[in-house]
Amino acid sequence: MDPVRIGTRGSKLALTQAGQVQRMIAAALGADPAEVERVAPLVVISTTGDRVQDRALTELGGKSMFTKEIEEALLAGRIDCAVHSLKDAPIARQPGLVLAATPEREDPRDAYLSPAYATLADLPRGARLGTASLRRASQALHRRADLSIVLVRGNVDTRLRKLEAGEAEAMLLALAGLKRLGLADRIRHALDPVEYPPAPGQGALGIETREADAGAPWVRALDHAETALAVAAERGALETLEGSCRTAVGAYAAISGGRLTLVVEALTPDGRERFRRHGEIAATDRVAARALGLALGAQIHAEGGDRLMAPP
């Protein structure tokens, strides 16, 4: 068969993640490991979100700045699938495209890093906390209103260099990315995902294809049922709560004993107000999982309203 061309961003983390998917696709196609590059070549695509590093995503147009150019390549037939970090992938798809598979998830939690301070509570008054995430900033300010939030964008290595250079006393990053890059030893500790719900879909990858290719055997082989259930619930909440970088939304779904539990929270941008809901269903159906997320998100939206939205 023809090669399956994989579209990806060009950062070290994106290439690492795409490489994992590349090997999975090659295996699903029955290819010899030595043939991986031929049967599933990577196609690096530069996105607006990667090129512009000096502004918050809210100023650039939100999460679509990491996916727009890749989706255009998919629609044009220059690639056959795309690998996205689901925490960075918007809910809306361009017509003709579908989120076709979700491989098994890495650890969804946030990681706290600091050269000198063991926990968020140990930071001195007025300390600088580095993050590019409105959610992480709002969650931190909810507990420590005295903190100074420093916008830190760029790839993982860039952010770690800024921390080492003293541009912030501490930093919050996705634990999954640090693990995938072999940097778990830099972590002080992982945040409790119930107390600090991560971004919906954090730690999971999404495989996007054209609608006509979604049922291909190699696509189905990438899908991990439990991950897909959890992600459906979390992204259902995101869908209701506007789902852009202008809302501080966290969601965490866990599956145990045949049950799916979901905690959803949204905060005002300054962290002063926090709205939370919990729910539980049988872990059997993605439609029901999404419906649970939609329902909990709607309850929070009804309570928080426009107060949840950061200014453009």
Report, as residue numbers or ranges, the catalytic residues: 88
- Output phi, psi for 279, to 5 deg: -155, 165
> Quick one: which of 247, 248, 256, 261 has its CA closest to 289?
261
Cα–Cα distance, 45 to 107 (Å, whole number): 26
CB within 8 A of 80, min separation 6: which ones? 3, 4, 5, 6, 74, 209, 210, 213
Strand blocks (E) in 117-158: 128-131, 148-151
Tell me how far apart the terminal alpha carbons of the chain are, to the nearest angstrom: 47
Q: Residue 92 gets which letter from DSSP? A: -
- Output phi, psi for 215, to 5 deg: -95, 5
Cα–Cα distance, 173 to 286 (Å, whole number): 28
Secondary structure (3-state) at 46: coil
Secondary structure (3-state) at 157: helix
- The strands making up 274-282's β-sheet, listed across from edge to edge, are 248-256, 259-267, 274-282
Distances (CA, A) of 220 to 101, 214, 224: 7, 8, 9
Q: With b meaning 16 or more CB within 10 Å and e meaning fewer, what string describes 10-27?
A: ebebbbebbbebbebbbb
SS3 annotation, 208-251 = EEEHHHCCCHHHHCCCCHHHHHHHHHHHHHHHHCCCCCCEEEEE
Q: Compute the half-sphere exposure of residue 121: CA atoms within 13 Å on the CB side of its CA.
A: 2
